């Protein structure tokens, strides 16, 4: 197995995933707790694809404006499948949500807590990243405060399915999610099945040339990227029944993202900053 990789600041990781265009080449990442940089990497078995993989990663780095030295090495075949497991451990993500890897023993829980058993594979979403954690906290908060008054949930950019699974386990009725990455959709479907929850996932990308009617939901979570949230605000807002969580936003551009949604009739209720990222909870002024 061949590995092409580099190390970059954490703030560029999400943008890199959004712009990476490697066809069936899969980009993954991890950061050790003590490390200051995050490793991004492409594993592939065919040595003749080295130039293709190197170019795909270099092009993505150029698009997000970060310079990094690309490195190449050979690794045992098993390493690329299980590398992410070294960095995914059980964690209490919010007041009522515990996320744990399916290969670990079930943790002890408190009354009222839910447990999400997860194998994210190479899909984004383990509850470790600041943006995912903030979304989980706000989903938990909205459900605890509103109860059955919020019953449907839509996850835009579902990744591993973690947000949708959390919503279903917290008691939401109709739960739907989509992602532009077919591998992420497959991971979400598998994780929902492992957690014995009924949630519908499909492949779709905001701004797709082949538009489809998206379901309207009481609570919508859009954990993508700040510039994309601004670009697709007009497609996102019509799906919002009562509340919208916007995430994947570097703190310095959060005011700009918030303004884009306020211009379309939404109002901020609160925001949560973890690390370099700010996540907002908005509501439709029509529903106040």
Percent of the chain with pLDDT over 90: 43
Write out pLDDT tens, residues 141-156: 999 899 889 999 999 9
pLDDT of the residue at 169? 92
The Cα 189–Cα 100 span in angstroms is: 17
83: confidence class by pLDDT, cuts 50, 70, 90 = low
Angle between helices 130-146 and 162-169 (to 10 degrees): 20
Q: What average pLDDT does the structure give for the chain?
A: 84
Distance CA 146, CA 170 (A): 12
For residue 12, give every residue at least 6 positions away whose Cβ sits within 8 Å of its Cβ, in sequence order, or none: 64, 65, 66
Residue 142: C-alpha distances to residues 136, 234, 269 (Å) = 10, 23, 11
Whole-number Å distance between alpha carbons of 64 and 141 = 33
Q: What is the pLDDT of residues 181-193, one digit of tens each?
A: 888 888 889 989 9
pLDDT(66) > 70: yes
- The pTM is what? 0.70
pLDDT in the model for residue 220: 97
Task: List Cβ neighbours of 219 (8 Å cut-off, separation of 6 or more).
Answer: 139, 142, 143, 150, 152, 153, 154, 167, 172, 241, 242, 243, 244, 245
Residue 199 reports pLDDT greater than 80: yes
pLDDT of residue 209: 74
Query: What does the pLDDT look like over 102-138, one tens digit per residue?
Result: 666 666 777 788 788 776 554 444 445 788 889 999 9
pLDDT computed for residue 70 by the predictor: 95
- The CATH class given to the 2-85 domain equals alpha beta
Pairing of strands 240-250, 217-223: parallel
Domain boundaries, the chain: 2-85, 129-287
Concatenated DSSP letters of 49-62 = GHHHHHHHHHHHHH
Q: What is the average per-residue pLDDT within 24-34?
A: 72
In 10 A of CB 24, how many CB atoms? 8
- pLDDT for the residue 234: 93
CATH number of 129-287: 3.40.50.150
When pLDDT is averaged across residues 29-39 and rounded to a whole number, the result is 74
């Amino acid at each position: 197995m061949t590995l092409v990789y580099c190390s970059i600041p954490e703030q560029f990781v999400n943008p890199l995933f959004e712009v990476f265009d490697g066809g069936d080449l899969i980009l993954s990442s991890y950061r050790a707790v003590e490390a200051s940089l995050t490793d991004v990497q492409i594993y592939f078995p065919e040595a003749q694809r080295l130039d293709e993989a190197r170019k795909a990663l270099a092009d993505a780095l150029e698009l997000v404006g970060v310079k990094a030295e690309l490195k190449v090495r050979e690794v045992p075949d098993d390493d690329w499948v299980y590398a992410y497991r070294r960095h995914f451990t059980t964690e209490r993500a919010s007041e009522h949500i515990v996320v744990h890897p399916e290969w670990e023993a079930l943790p002890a829980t408190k009354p009222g807590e839910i447990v999400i058993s997860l194998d994210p594979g190479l899909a984004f979403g383990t509850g470790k990243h600041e943006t995912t954690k903030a979304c989980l906290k706000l989903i938990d908060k909205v459900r605890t405060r509103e109860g059955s008054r919020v019953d449907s949930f839509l996850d835009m950019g579902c990744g591993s399915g973690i947000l949708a699974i959390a919503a279903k386990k917290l008691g939401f009725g109709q739960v739907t999610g989509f992602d532009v990455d077919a591998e992420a959709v497959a991971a979400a479907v598998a994780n929902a099945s492992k957690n014995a929850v009924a949630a519908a996932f499909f492949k779709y990308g905001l701004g797709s040339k082949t538009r489809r009617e998206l379901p309207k939901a009481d609570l919508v979570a859009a954990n993508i990227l700040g510039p994309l949230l601004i670009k697709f605000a007009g497609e996102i807002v019509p799906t919002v029944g009562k509340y919208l969580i916007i995430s994947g936003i570097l703190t310095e551009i959060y005011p700009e993202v918030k303004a884009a949604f306020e211009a379309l009739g939404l109002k901020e209720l609160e925001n949560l900053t973890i690390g370099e990222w700010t996540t907002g909870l908005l509501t439709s002024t029509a529903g106040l």
